[in-house]
Amino acid sequence: MQSGSVPAIAVAHLAKSYNGSVAVAGIDFTCAQGEVLGLLGGNGAGKTTTIAMIMGLVTPSAGSVHVLGTDMARERHKVLGRINFESPYVDMPHRLTVRQNLTVFAGLYGVSDVKTRIAQLADDLNLADVLDRPSGKLSAGQKTRVALAKALINEPELLLLDEPTASLDPDTADWIRSHLEDYRKRRNAAILLASHNMAEVERLCDRVIIMKKGRIADQGVPADLIARYGRANLEEVFLDVARGTEMLA
């Protein structure tokens, strides 16, 4: 991991409530440039809300988010071209072909040589055979690779991934993980990864944050957490935290 002087993500006292119901209860963390940070937690723990606030899709009730040194509440437009994301809550327009979708997003992200970039992505993500097929007629694995191609279209310095391998078969999921590892090394990109797949998190992440009821219940390097909890793997640590036996970090 290489750390730049400015963190990729700096979150301070970040909170979000919906009609009095607390989704995120004042959390603080940073993600260095080049770091892969895992965001774990059960359903309703506040992971998606946290990611949405980092992306600027949800306005925090309190606290601040800085991405690559930019205040997302006031100057998000300055940094949106340097980040990207993949999430199960969004989709690619189904009637457009993969090539058309990637061309549109390349235009939105200001990619200079669109044809070359799409050819590179098609090569990297094994999409050449589906480039001219409608996005809605692809298999789940192909759709995930296309969504990843969209997320990488601008070679982002920060990549936000919400369940990137959910509902994929083990082989395709493994292939995606390998590609993410390669991308991070090649670009020194920071990645914030929300996932329920603990094996995936153990493999990809330098550090993890475990959220529970909108708070950070624990955090650390996966191997350190496993050792500290006296468990065999991160999944057992996660279960300890989820069931209320976490240790004070």
Partner 1 sequence: MSIAAELSGGFSSARVFALVKRYIYLLRASWPRLLELVYWPAVQMVTWGFLQTYVMQTSNAVAFGAGVFIGGMLLWDLLFRSQLGFSMSFLEEMWARNMGNLLMSPLRPLEFVAALMVMSLVRLALGLVPVALLAIPFFGFNVFAIGLPLAVFVTNLVLFGWAVALVVSGLVLRNGIGAEGLAWTIMFIVLPLGCVYYPVGLLPAWLQPISWALPPTAVFEGLRAILTTGAIRPDLMLWAFALNVVYISVSIVIFLYLLGRSRDAGSLVQMGE
Q: Which residues bind partner 1 (CB under 8 A)?
A: 16, 18, 23, 48-49, 52, 55-59, 73-78, 80-81, 84-85, 87, 89-97, 100, 103-110, 134, 150
- The number of residues making up the chain comes to 249
Q: How far apart are CA 30 and CA 120, in angstroms?
A: 32
CB of 38 to partner 1, least distance (A): 20
CB of 71 to partner 1, least distance (A): 10
Question: Of the two residues 192 and 198, which places its CB atom closer to partner 1 in the complex?
Answer: 192
From residue 86, how far is each of 3, 28, 194, 224, 231 by CA, in Å?
23, 23, 11, 29, 31
Question: Of the two residues 213 and 228, which places its CB atom closer to partner 1 in the complex?
Answer: 213
**DSSP string covering 113-131:** SHHHHHHHHHHHTT-GGGT
Q: How far apart are CA 15 and CA 63, in angstroms?
A: 6
Q: In 10 A of CB 98, how many CB atoms?
A: 28
CB of 100 to partner 1, least distance (A): 5
Question: Of the two residues 198 and 211, which places its CB atom closer to partner 1 in the complex?
Answer: 211
Question: Of the two residues 103 and 197, which places its CB atom closer to partner 1 in the complex?
Answer: 103
CB of 89 to partner 1, least distance (A): 6
DSSP 109: T
